[in-house]
Amino acid sequence: MSILVNSQTRVLVQGITGKEGQFHARQCIDYGTNIVAGVTPGKGGQAMDGVPVYDTVKDAREQTGANASMILVPPPFAAEAILEA
């Protein structure tokens, strides 16, 4: 099954408050990607460049209708982030 991303795709960024997450989220936003939420445990309620941050993928998905995830977390946390997505 191929994954198709278009202007209707609602993307959430796991790890959006980290250095790499912020950089790549900003690049995507500048390119026109529809970034609707970010996820960083313990940082829910914040915002990064106007993008709301949630503690869990479940909360972000319920609040924003996100249907795709971009994962930008440190390697030790990648497996857990993938499973949560």
The answer to whether residue 55 sits within a structural domain is yes
Residue keyed to tokens 């319920």: 62
SS3 68: strand
pTM, to two decimals: 0.90
- Residue type at position 34: N
Paired with 52 in beta bridges are: 47
The answer to whether residue 6 sits within a structural domain is no
Across 6-67, where does the E strand assignment appear?
A: 11-14, 35-39, 47-48, 51-54
- pLDDT classification of 6: cutoffs 50, 70, 90: confident
- pLDDT classification of 1: cutoffs 50, 70, 90: low
- pLDDT classification of 2: cutoffs 50, 70, 90: low
The answer to whether residue 5 sits within a structural domain is no
The answer to whether residue 52 sits within a structural domain is yes
Query: Per-residue pLDDT tens for 60-84?
Result: 999 999 999 999 999 999 999 999 9
Which CATH number is 53's domain given? 3.40.50.720
Query: Per-residue pLDDT tens for 7-63?
Result: 899 999 999 999 999 999 999 999 999 999 999 999 999 999 999 999 999 999 999
